[in-house]
Amino acid sequence: MGHRLALLRDGQVEQVGPVEDVFRRPATSEAAALLGIRNLFRARVVDASPAGLLLDWDGLLLEAPLQRAAAGEAVTAYVRPEDVKILYPDRPLGPSVRANQVEGVIVTHRGQGSFHTLYVAIANGHEIEVRFPAYAYVPLRLAAGERVRLSLRREGVVLLPAKPVE
């Protein structure tokens, strides 16, 4: 097994780097798509302050940690499926899931061995992927057609670097 990874698209190198870096921080939306990251979205930066960013994703306001972006800028962002958490309806919210709450309807639930994947239609007209260990959320009914409340972890909202002007 190698320690570096190169992503190729149409015969051109899209990104090269340590395996973990490439998987955790794709350099472009094309690299993210090659890695199978589904939760890519275009948003507008509403506010940028030392406390972080506020993004408007087609009417859904999302908090994100401070990253290179200016108010009014159009950006491409992503949230890894593991950073989307299902909220229990009867439990208090911890600090890591208070931000970026959204309700949705489960479209598909796939059990894949030790992990499960949900595809959830959310209020802004998009679908988001949620991935979690099979032992998590056992008491919840997570079948297609069920309503769920999600939190897109603030720290999990990552902006892709803007493409340099050529």
Q: What string of pLDDT tens digits covers the 166 residues of the chain?
A: 678 988 888 888 888 989 888 887 888 888 888 888 889 999 999 999 999 999 999 999 999 999 999 999 999 999 999 999 999 998 888 888 999 999 999 999 999 889 999 999 999 999 999 999 999 998 899 999 999 999 999 999 999 987 644 4
For the entire predicted model, the pTM comes to: 0.85
What does the block give as tokens for 68? 């290179």
- Quick one: DSSP state of residue 135? T
Q: Which residue has tokens 């993004």?
A: 55
Domains within the chain, CATH numbers bracketed: 1-36 (no CATH), 82-152 (2.40.50.100)
Q: How far apart are CA 32 and CA 101, in angstroms?
A: 24
10 alpha carbon, distance to own chain's centre: 26
Say which residues have a Cβ less than 8 Å from residue 77's Cβ, sequence separation at least 6. Answer: 40, 41, 42, 43, 55, 57, 62, 64, 157, 158, 159, 160
